[in-house]
Chains A and B, each alone.
Chain A
Amino acid sequence: MANKIADSISREEFFYGHKACAGCGGSLAVRAALKVLGPNAVSVLPAGCMSAVGFNFPQLCFSNNSIISTFAGTASMLTGIEAGLRAKGYKDFTAVGFAGDGGTADIGIQALSGAIDRNDNIIYICYDNEAYMNTGIQKSGLTPFGARTTTTPAGSNIHGNIRPKKNMFEIVAAHGIPYAATASVGYIGDFIAKVQKASQIQGTKYIHVIAPCPTGWGVAVDETVEIAKEVVDSGLWYLAEYENGEYRLTHRPKEFTSAEAYLKRQGRFRHLTEDDIKVITDSRDEKWKFIEKNFIV
């Protein structure tokens, strides 16, 4: 039985034997992207789970050239690698970064903004597990409203994170970047197609992929893919692209599944009250009004 998506990527594995938790969504994102980019990808991983689980000397799980950057420096190291290899006369390579949500939306945002400003020829992939997971689940700028983390505990007064998730996709697009996209590991074909597309475009590319963390989200290890699909199906995340100054949806749920069901199956949201859930569904509906108005749907 031919599978078009499987046939479009390398049969080789480039992220193998890593020490990520069973069912880690981030590792699925890294694995899939490298199977698109192939052996000549040079990957940069800042401090975060994917570097922690990939480089345990002498167990080195990337079989393409890979390097750990400073936490804040994913994009600047990508800039240097791309410039250095180009100066050495290499042509057939892709400099790709895999940074977490904290590494992207908080500490690495300045370096990323600078790289986009210079339009360096790199791919920056943010695998978003919605908290600082490697250090034990602290809130990041991409932790959604209501989520319980160790720094946004849920008590009787405050029900987890009081701030909404930063809109990294549109922040990046606002730079006038050649290509930006959102994705989810629950729709792996859509993600793979976006990495493929990014690899064909000159200049800076940014892909923001939702990558559930069973450990931090409080779901079973076999639920990662399901939950990554459900966040899209319930309308709490959307699959889109930004190119040539235009936003475009790449997947449109016919009707939303229950946001409450999505939230309540996760330990980090179990404390939410009806009012909290209403805040979340209202902001979802607002977001979709904006999408209907401003995106090509």
Chain B
Amino acid sequence: MRPYIREKKVFGFDDVPENTCFEAGYLVTVNSGWRSIRPVVNTDKCVGCEQCYLYCPDGVISIKDNKAVIDYDFCKGCGICAKICKPGAIETEAERK
């Protein structure tokens, strides 16, 4: 299972764990706002070679039905996937918010 976003709790001083332990893989904020470009997979061109999946520093690409799928909640728009893709199946467009 992919890590997922939890509900953002409001932590008062009393809720902060006294020891320095807390649940692993606990995500409350996304990284989508970091993007100035958005990588878009052209499924006609994607051959499912998984190179983009291997090289994405954020691990946000997965392969479904032999095609690359991007988790836009956490993609930072670095563009590494677009450069690594030999068939040129990932195009980058300006992020419009």
> Which residues of A are interface residues toward B (Cβ below 8 A)?
1, 3, 5-6, 11-20, 22-25, 27-28, 31-32, 35, 57-66, 188-189, 220-226
Contact = CB atoms under 8 A, between A and B. Distances in A.
Interface residues of B, number: 43
A28 B34 contact: no
Interface of B is mostly: loop
Contact of B78 (A3, A6, A19, A22): A22
Contacts of A221: 78-80
Given A17-B74, A63-B25, A221-B78, A3 B54 contact: yes
Nearest to A5: B54
Contacts of A5: 50, 54
Contacts of A14: 25
A3 B48 CA distance: 9
A201 B75 CA distance: 35
A220 B29 CA distance: 25
B13 interface: no
Contacts of B48: 1
Nearest to A17: B27
Interface in B10-33: 11, 16, 22-31
A168 B88 CA distance: 38
A31 B63 CA distance: 17
B24 A62 contact: yes
